[in-house]
Amino acid sequence: MEFFNFHTHQFTNQSNILELVNQYPKEFDSSIPFYSIGIHPWYIKVDQIDLELKIIEEKLQTKNCLAIGECGLDKRIEVPMEQQIIVFEKQLALAEKYKKPVVIHCVAAFQEITAIKKKLKTSVPMIIHGFSKNKQLAEQLIKDGFYLSFGKYLLKNPDLKTVFQNIPNDRFFLETDTIEENIEQVYQIASRYKSITIKELQDIISSNYKNVFEVK
């Protein structure tokens, strides 16, 4: 693995990239080698939750399923927050049961996600994907035990440069999510912001990957 793409919706099947491809329970593609699977808050359907959780639990027991998610909370959608929290907590319980990291989608609900982590005493790694907020929030989330993953906004928002520069090297990942740019482009800007070589960055992310995904 030269590059690790922590979160993507597009499988590109390149031998030098390990891609953690986002999958949905009802649209599962068994040809994808490594994936995360979860109920995204946008797609919660009350009458489907139990069936989807059953599918997720089956997949979590396979070695190709590296994480649960993306799942989380989103205050900018019409799904009631109470319902989102129920679905999120059930997925965190599965993550804990099968010792899998969690890919988190969070929109305007960082306090709630932190409170749930504390309430449930979640011990598995929790990674906020697509981080785009300020230095204060980044520092608080890291203090509360979260990892942060950067991608789209690192490429598109220059204000994120100083935020990213201050993230401890053992607490971040890089991703492409749904953007057209490739993971190498994200690595390039990240190495520039951190003032390190691509090789040094690859070593950092490889180490984080081993720690979070318990790769021996």
What domain count does the chain have?
1
Residue with the two structure tokens 């929109």: 107
In whole angstroms, how far apart are CA 72 and each of 24, 34, 66, 102, 158?
14, 21, 17, 9, 26
Q: Could you tell me the residue range of the domain that residue 194 belongs to?
A: 3-212
In whole angstroms, how far apart are CA 157 and each of 6, 7, 97, 134, 164?
20, 19, 37, 12, 11
Q: Encoding tokens for residue 162?
A: 């100083």
Q: Encoding tokens for residue 130?
A: 């697509």
> Span 126-141, mean pLDDT?
98
The overall average pLDDT reported for the chain is 97
129 is known to lie in a ligand binding site: yes
- 71: domain CATH number is 3.20.20.140
Concatenating the DSSP letter of every residue in 2-57 gives -EEEEEES-----TTEEEEEEE-GGG--TT-SSEEE---GGG--GGGHHHHHHHHH
Answer yes or no: are the C-beta atoms of 151 and 174 closer than 8 Å.
yes
| Tens digits of residue pLDDT in 138-154 | 999 999 999 999 999 99
177 is known to lie in a ligand binding site: yes
pTM exceeding 0.85:
yes
> Span 30-38, mean pLDDT?
97
58 is known to lie in a ligand binding site: no
70 is known to lie in a ligand binding site: yes
Q: Encoding tokens for residue 133?
A: 């907020």
d(C-alpha 4, C-alpha 10), whole Å: 14
| Tens digits of residue pLDDT in 69-99 | 999 999 999 999 999 999 999 999 999 999 9
